Amino acid sequence: MTPGARAAAAIAVLDRYLAGEPVERALTNWGRASRFAGSGDRAAVRDLVFDALRCKRSYAALGGAMTGRGLILGGVRASGGDGGDLFTGEGHAPVKVGPDEIGRRPVGAEALDVPDWLLPELEASLGDATVPVLRAMQVRAPVFLRVNLRKTTVAQALARLAGEEIAATPHPLAKTALEVTGNARKIQTSESFRTGLVELQDASSQAVVEALPLRDGIRVLDHCAGGGGKTLAMAALARIKVWAHDANPRRMADLPERARRAGVAVTLTEAPETLAPFDLVLVDAPCSGSGSWRRDPEGKWALTEARLAEVVAVQAGIMTRAATMVGPGGTLAYATCSLLEKENEAQVNAFVTAHPGWTVQSKQRFLPTSGGDGFFVALLTRA
């Protein structure tokens, strides 16, 4: 496919998304109908689509319309181009840019690519870091790997990856974190990945796990395990007995095989209360996902004030449930991949106020300006 044809394909996918179709489904449907497109073409179209979703409001302003065409044209203009090389009207390329597609400079929340109602929430939560953080969220997230210290060392993993033509470098957010700098698309077919030497995991997510009070022999519950990334990371850092639970057990379907590949033992449970008490309960709570919107920009535009209020209420309920499973002297770890204070510090403060005897031992924020996703983690203990 020519660059113009790729742009036209991205426009078609974005129009389907703007009409209400989930973006992943729109990409899948386009791919099925476009057997001529090679793997490189599919990756390029996907990149164009997700770049446009990260910057949907600013690109629409620059491109003159909230349409697939407007978004792609806006992206070209944001990069300093005029669209003449892509919008040629030749072959499968989009038609030439018309005099009515002038566009304008985005302002305010539009320029930072967030909903109007959300910007005050972010400013209250991030203060002077608001603009740098939101600018960081407008670009693609780095690809990170977690070195499985149960099977290898960082130096050995780097050497193995280099031998498979995957370039990576250590990242300061976590001792196990590697930032991939070349050939990221080779990772999942690499021997290093298939044999469990490395796992795909954001650096801030790894830093959250490193902040936990892990030590050999303790009993640990990952209460909102999801796919189990933090479950595996905990099991690799200490010889613990670890259980994984999720409200939707299907999310953990791949976890047993991933644990086998990683060389660690993980037990799935649908009734964690029957196994209590635990020395450590990790609640990686469902949240707005605002810290990871570089990876899931569709989620940013789907969030509403009402949905945020629902999520905050769910978080409070999960914390209350999880606290009953913490044994004497144990730790409740509360984490989110959110940037918003009402999901983080305010949530923890409300829990402590409502549950006398609990004390906050530490709180940490990780912002996208440090390289990884936005994360928050607090450690609480009961007197």
**299-343 residue pLDDT tens:** 999 999 999 999 999 999 999 999 999 999 999 999 999 999 999
Q: Are 147 and 170 a contacting pair, CB within 8 Å?
A: no
The catalytic residues are 337
pLDDT digits (tens, 9 = 90+) for 274-290: 999 999 999 999 999 99
Q: How far apart are CA 209 and CA 158, in angstroms?
A: 21
- Domain 143-200 CATH (choose: 3.30.70.1170, 3.40.190.10, 3.40.50.2300, 1.10.1060.10): 3.30.70.1170
**pLDDT of amino acid 332:** 98
Pairing relation of β-strands 326-336 and 278-284?
parallel
**pLDDT of amino acid 34:** 86
pLDDT digits (tens, 9 = 90+) for 129-139: 999 999 999 99
**pLDDT of amino acid 301:** 97
pLDDT digits (tens, 9 = 90+) for 74-101: 999 999 999 888 999 998 999 999 999 9
Sign of the Cα pseudo-torsion (182, 73, 24, 340, in order): positive
Q: Where in the chain is the domain with CATH 3.40.50.150?
A: 204-382
**pLDDT of amino acid 261:** 95
Query: What predicted TM-score, i.e. pTM, was given to this entire model?
Result: 0.94
**pLDDT of amino acid 331:** 97
pLDDT digits (tens, 9 = 90+) for 233-244: 999 999 999 999
Q: Where in the chain is the domain with CATH 3.30.70.1170?
A: 143-200
**pLDDT of amino acid 258:** 95
**pLDDT of amino acid 38:** 87
pLDDT tens-digit profile, the chain (383 residues): 999 999 999 999 999 999 999 999 999 999 988 888 888 899 999 999 999 999 999 999 999 999 999 999 999 999 999 988 899 999 899 999 999 999 999 999 999 999 999 999 999 999 999 999 999 999 999 999 999 999 999 999 999 999 999 999 999 999 999 999 999 999 999 999 999 999 999 999 999 999 999 999 999 999 999 999 999 999 999 999 999 999 999 999 999 999 999 999 999 999 999 999 999 999 999 999 999 999 999 999 999 999 999 999 999 999 999 999 999 999 999 999 999 999 999 999 999 999 999 999 999 999 999 999 999 999 999 87
**pLDDT of amino acid 84:** 86
CATH number of the structural domain 204-382: 3.40.50.150
